Amino acid sequence: MQTDSSFTFVLFGGTGDLSMRKILPALFEAHRAGGMLAASGKIVAVARHVADRGGYLEWVDTHVKPYVSKNGLDETAWASFLERIEFVKLDLGNPEDFALLRDAVSDLPGIRVFYLATGPSLFVPICRALASVGLNENARIVLEKPLGYDLKSSNAINDAVGEIFAEEQIYRIDHYLGKEPVQNLLALRFGNALFEPLWRREWVESIQITIAEELGVEARGDFYDNTGALRDMVQNHLLQLLSIVAMEPPHSMDSDSVRDEKLRVLRALKPIDQRDISKVAVRGQYHSGVIRGATVPAYATEPGVKPESTTETFVALKVEIENWRWAGVPFFLRTGKRLADRVAEIVVNFRPVPHSALGASALRAGANRLVIRLQPNETIRLYCLAKQPGEGMNLASVHLDLAFDRFFREGQMEAYQRLLLDVINGRLALFVRRDEQEAAWRWVEPILNEWAASNKPPKPYASGTWGPAAASAMLAQHGTCWLEEEN
């Protein structure tokens, strides 16, 4: 993925955790690869916690290096990367300071990319300040999640940003869409004749999408206690993955063709009647427990969390899509903190054969499935039945690994690296369009409203487990179970 596109990449929140862990390491990897970033491209970091460029480069050297040196650091590449970086000390609360930014970038080449690695409350003030000094022309703006607290606040942000930047200038980022297995899912479905005929209600029994974390809220208690898992993970990451899995084949891979098909899925989600929410939605909150031999605290005792908090740290949902392809197929979504393992995966359970001459084992649930692992190890596995060696026709589950690293010399590209290159090169397909975001909020809101009105607290679960028992019971009602329970 080589480019001659010159650019000026302006990073707001230049000393923040996201910049240190993800954004700058991704830009460095693209720089080190050679040819992915135009030689003339510049990175302009914006922050107020350091005094000058020298101080900022020291900060980067300390805080970014641990995330780029796991496999050994190329010091020559690192030194040349630092040469790309400029710095502007700027108080985001003072619009007059943006004249300093204008002066710093006015002579720099290429398209301007403004990456807002800040809290959402700063999105509109930053955009207005950029417009006040004429920096909204020949520019792209990248917005991190969460974009709003609900549909109303999301629309307010989108309306305000939309007055300054056109929709084709706005890149709403969801890093799960940049992961290699998600891209390979599209390739498997739409590039091969094998899977697409099976990708429908006649052959698929159920689909599970899980994003599980071992970590708690860490230092984000203040933010998380006003957000919760439904807003933080379901409204964006999980529903975006769902739309990728369930979408119809687009006529091409251009940005609007792909996003049109995702939007059709989001609009086809069966509305959840508030009277049925308790049957199809489980919310939980972690209590103290043991993870990898260490005792961890309960959510209510985490720094920044109110002791009486009813914020959910776990959500499990049963979702239905009301269209011809998926009618009657349950999609089970799950996310949570302080769970038994860190894993993100999509599990497609195919229906068993209608009749087996090989015995009952060929009819068992889960004999045929596709597992797309997004993290920690990005793989795709196809599970099927095979005869065990020896006497008799005894069947056992085996899997075929789609090990892309064996076929391609190039290493897998990290999600942020792919997405940042797409921004620089003007590719919108992997970014969320406004109407997608509105459709997701509109579907989620009845659950948010019901939980807010309810006096029932979230169901407790011990840290280090897979969440409340009610999440397993919900699947049991449909004759299935979560993948780890079967194993």
Strand, coil or helix: 412: coil
CB 436 within 8 A of CB 167: no
The pLDDT, as a whole number, for residue 38 is: 92
152 is in an annotated binding site: no
Catalytic residues: 237
The pLDDT, as a whole number, for residue 141 is: 98
Q: What is the pLDDT of residues 202-241, one digit of tens each?
A: 999 999 999 999 999 988 889 899 999 999 999 999 999 9
Main-chain dihedrals φ then ψ at residue 369, nearest 5 degrees = -155, 155
Q: Tokens at residue 180, please?
A: 């290699």
Q: Tokens at residue 106, please?
A: 């006015």
145 is in an annotated binding site: yes
The pLDDT, as a whole number, for residue 405 is: 65
- Mean pLDDT calculated for residue range 59-85: 89
213 is in an annotated binding site: yes
Q: What is the pLDDT of residues 64-73, one digit of tens each?
A: 998 986 667 8
Q: What is the pLDDT of residues 9-28, one digit of tens each?
A: 999 999 999 999 999 999 99
Question: Strands of 111-116's sheet, edge to edge?
Answer: 85-89, 42-47, 7-12, 111-116, 139-143, 170-172
pTM of the entire predicted model: 0.92
Cα–Cα distances in angstroms (integers) from residue 365 to residues 177, 348, 440, 480, in the given order: 29, 12, 31, 8
- Mean pLDDT calculated for residue range 252-266: 94
Instruction: Decide if pLDDT at 1 tops 60.
Output: no
Domains of the chain: residue spans and CATH = 7-144 (3.40.50.720), 177-486 (3.30.360.10)
- Mean pLDDT calculated for residue range 237-257: 94
CB 209 within 8 A of CB 333: yes
- Band (pLDDT 50/70/90 cuts) for residue 49 is confident
Instruction: Decide if pLDDT at 85 tops 90.
Output: yes
Instruction: Decide if pLDDT at 175 tops 60.
Output: yes
Which range, of 35-39, 134-138, 331-335, 386-390, averages the lowest pLDDT? 386-390
Which range, of 66-70, 81-85, 286-290, 320-324, averages the lowest pLDDT? 66-70
- Mean pLDDT calculated for residue range 81-103: 93
- Band (pLDDT 50/70/90 cuts) for residue 362 is low
The pLDDT, as a whole number, for residue 248 is: 95
- Mean pLDDT calculated for residue range 401-408: 70
- Band (pLDDT 50/70/90 cuts) for residue 164 is very high
The pLDDT, as a whole number, for residue 359 is: 66
179 is in an annotated binding site: yes
The pLDDT, as a whole number, for residue 2 is: 47
- Band (pLDDT 50/70/90 cuts) for residue 180 is confident
48 is in an annotated binding site: yes
Is the pLDDT higher at 395 or at 52? 52
- Mean pLDDT calculated for residue range 238-264: 94
The pLDDT, as a whole number, for residue 360 is: 65
Share of the chain above pLDDT 70, in %: 94
The pLDDT, as a whole number, for residue 344 is: 95
Q: Tokens at residue 341, please?
A: 């393992």
- Band (pLDDT 50/70/90 cuts) for residue 416 is very high
Q: What gap in Å lies between CA 426 and CA 265, rounded to an integer?
A: 25
Per the listing, tokens 């970086």 go with 85
Instruction: Decide if pLDDT at 407 tops 80.
Output: no
What is the distance, to the nearest Å, from the Cα of residue 235 to the centroid of all Cα atoms in its chain?
10
CB 23 within 8 A of CB 9: no
Cα–Cα distances in angstroms (integers) from residue 333 to residues 14, 75, 203, in the given order: 34, 43, 20
Instruction: Decide if pLDDT at 142 tops 90.
Output: yes
